[in-house]
Structure 1
Amino acid sequence: MADEARARKLADRIKVVVARRLDKGLRDPRMGFVTITDVRVTGDLQHASIFYTVYGNEKERADSAAALKSATGMLRTEVGRNISTRLTPSLEFIADAIPENAEHIEGLLRTAQEQDARVATLAASAQYAGDEDPYVTPRDDAEDEDE
């Protein structure tokens, strides 16, 4: 089993090689605007999971996923030429959910902000249920003598 630092270095190198190859362009018309976001290599350096995002709608994402799947062999060959390991790791392309997660979090923040505004509006027009000062105050001795 390789050490963790070597696996990280290999993952970074694979990320650069694959991104450079995608930047040159594949001859697949289905390929959209793909960004490699992360690469993770197993401890034995035999498998690389490549996370990517695609700018565009669902159809473009599906087309790009199919293009990456069909180009996996060619990309693995390119990786094998540019790394110095005994065996070339197998490649797996995984669509990264960063844009969807960010959109979901933005929606949650928007909802929370709207609810905060409603609560602030209600608090501005609210009145006390009882006395304004609900705490018991000590009586003055002068008041006790008058009674």
Structure 2
Amino acid sequence: MAREFKRSARVASQMQKELAVIVQQDIKDPRIGFITVNEVELSKDLTSAKIYITALGADEQGQKDNIKWLNDAAPFIRSEMGKRMRLRSVPYVKFYYDDSFEKGMRVSELLVEPKPSEDVPEGDG
């Protein structure tokens, strides 16, 4: 019987939960706004993780700043994850901004916008 989930997927799910707590409660940097951890992509060998985040209420410069500050705090975040998770080696983390929410909102706006009415001549048939 095959496993339903790969180990990297299970570890990524747990990492996402732990990262959300670490970013919200343990990082005391007032420059970092309200961060949501959207996804964690973990390599198959569990050595590196790409963490996709969203900073609510941040403009484009604020997004870049939040990513920079989180990547600067990556060693601290990694050590906190090591304390919370039972792993042989804790993956190296790199933060990226997830713009899928903004793209989804833009698509939603485009779908809701009324189409300009076109004058269609009525024909016989």
TM-score calculated relative to the size of structure 2: 0.84
* Deviation per residue, 1:58-82 (Å, 9 max, x gap): 2321221122011100000011122
* Structure 2: stretches of 5+ with no match in the other structure: none
Aligned match for 1:83, one of 79, 82, 85: 85
1:53 offset after TM fit, Å?
Answer: 0.4
Cα shift readout 1:69-104 (whole Å, capped 9, x = no counterpart): 111000000111222221111101110011321233
Q: Structure 1 stretches (4+) deviating beyond 6 angstroms?
A: none
Over the aligned positions, Cα root-mean-square deviation in angstroms equals: 1.9
| 2: CA distance, partners of 1:60 / 1:114 | 34
Question: Which one has the bigger helix percentage?
Answer: 1
What does residue 138 of structure 1 align with? none
**Which aligned pairs between 1:1-147 and structure 2 lie closer than 5 A?**
5-56=6-57, 57-111=59-113, 113-115=114-116, 118-119=117-118, 122-123=119-120, 126-128=121-123, 132-133=124-125
Identity, in percent, stands at 25
The alignment's TM-score, normalised by the length of structure 1, stands at 0.73
- Shift in Å at residue 107 of structure 1? 4.0
Residue segments in structure 1 that go unaligned for 5+ positions in a row: 134-147
Checking the alignment, whether the CA contact within 8 Å between 1:30 and 1:60 is kept in structure 2 is no
**Larger radius of gyration between Structure 1 and Structure 2:** 1
